[in-house]
Structure formats: C-alpha cells, structure tokens
Structure 1
C-alpha cells in the first residue's frame, strides 16, 4: 500500500519540480540557472527535462497555469518564498483527488 505522503514525496513533488524546471527553461534560463534557482544539481534538471524523472503525474490546466505563473515570477525575481509557492501548488493538486489516481505508479 502506498501512503499519500509517499506519493507526494516520490511522485507529486518531483513532477512539480520537473514542470517548474521546464517552464524556467522555456523562460530562457539555462539548465545551470534553473539548478541554482531550484537548489538542485544540474544533472537533476537534465533528468527532469529528458523525462527520466518527475513524469508520473499528469497535471490539469489549472495546475499547469499555476506552475507557469510561478516560473514567470521566479524568472522576474518576484518569489520570496519558493517552498510556500510549491506547497500551494501541491495543495491545489491534493484538492483534486483525481490527480492522485492519474499517477502511472498506480497503473
């Protein structure tokens, strides 16, 4: 049995981070800059972008928009508390229980 907290740590947070990384690259940041912004190794960014990590969750349009707005805010230097913003997106996902069932790990 996979507990909800396990799903968040293993599937949801990596998917959010991967989507943020992808959006930041789309905003023009290099993989090195994205790694610095997200406080992760450049190799992790590379794996996110190549879909080797963080690909198990399919986001609905509202969540995609929230991630896009966060990335734009990060690129513009308008994010004071990144952890809180990521938590907000995670809460948004958890409000829609169906998102948990879209995980490929449940298939």
Structure 2
C-alpha cells in the first residue's frame, strides 16, 4: 500500500498543477510563460493540458475554484512565482482525503493511523 505522502505526490499535486496550467492558458498565457511561471518544463505543461499527466483524480469544485482564483492572480500580477509553493500547499490542504481515496479505490483503513498526516486537513480520517 502506498503511504499517504506518495498519494499526494503522485496524484494530488499533479492534478493541481494540471488545473493551474489549464487555467493560465485559458487566461491567454503561452505554454512557455506558464512553464517559466510554474518552474516546470514546457513539455510538462503540454502533458498537463492534454491530460497525459495530472489526470489520475478529479478535484472537487471548491478546489478548482481556488486554483482558478490563483491562476487569475498570477496572470494579472497580484501573485508571483514566489507564491506558487505556499498557495499550492494551501490548495492541497483543501483536497478532501475521502474523495481522493475513493477515486483511487483505497480504503482509509488501508492507510492506518497516519492517513491525515499528508492528505488534507480532515479530522475524520
């Protein structure tokens, strides 16, 4: 069984990055500019927007709204590259653990007592 932190790295963060890249492109940015802003390669941006990367789970509507707001702030200069890690972490903490586990077909009991250590901030884990 994968530890919770591995689930975050393999599924949650890529899903957030994918949504962010798509939103930035929808706001008129070029792939090259998105890659520089997100500190990833241009091929990674291409993979995010074509769902070859980051499509393992679907984010909830509330999380997608947070990503959309962040993308808007990045595109108009109200947020910068320096905000990327703290805002991604904030968004990640709002991802519902139960939603991710359900989509991956994993039971909370499979993760043991540490299930909330890396996956969101839910206390009902």
Tell me if TM exceeds 0.5: yes
Supply the distance in 1 between the matched residues of 2:42 and 2:105 (Cα, whole angstroms): 26
Query: Do residues 62 (structure 1) and 62 (structure 2) align?
Result: yes
Q: CA deviation at 1:97?
A: 2.2
Q: CA deviation at 1:66?
A: 0.3
Supply the distance in 1 between the matched residues of 2:105 and 2:56 (Cα, whole angstroms): 7
Supply the distance in 2 between the matched residues of 1:105 and 1:19 (Cα, whole angstroms): 22
TM-score by length of 2: 0.78
Supply the distance in 2 between the matched residues of 1:55 and 1:104 (Cα, whole angstroms): 12
- State the match for 2:88 in structure 1: 86
1:56/1:105 contact within 8 Å kept: no
Deviation string 1:2-36 (CA, Å, 9 cap, x unpaired) is 11100011111111001100000000001111101
Q: CA deviation at 1:103?
A: 3.5
Query: Do residues 36 (structure 1) and 36 (structure 2) align?
Result: yes
Supply the distance in 2 between the matched residues of 1:5 and 1:56 (Cα, whole angstroms): 15
1:48/1:54 contact within 8 Å kept: yes
Supply the distance in 2 between the matched residues of 1:99 and 1:45 (Cα, whole angstroms): 25
With over 3 angstroms needed to count, the CA separation of the structure-2 counterparts of 1:87 and 1:58, relative to structure 1, is same
Tell me, which stretches of 5 or more residues in structure 2 are unaligned? 107-125
Tell me, which stretches of 5 or more residues in structure 1 are unaligned? none
Supply the distance in 1 between the matched residues of 2:99 and 2:78 (Cα, whole angstroms): 28
Deviation string 1:56-102 (CA, Å, 9 cap, x unpaired) is 11111101100000000100111142110000000001xx2222224
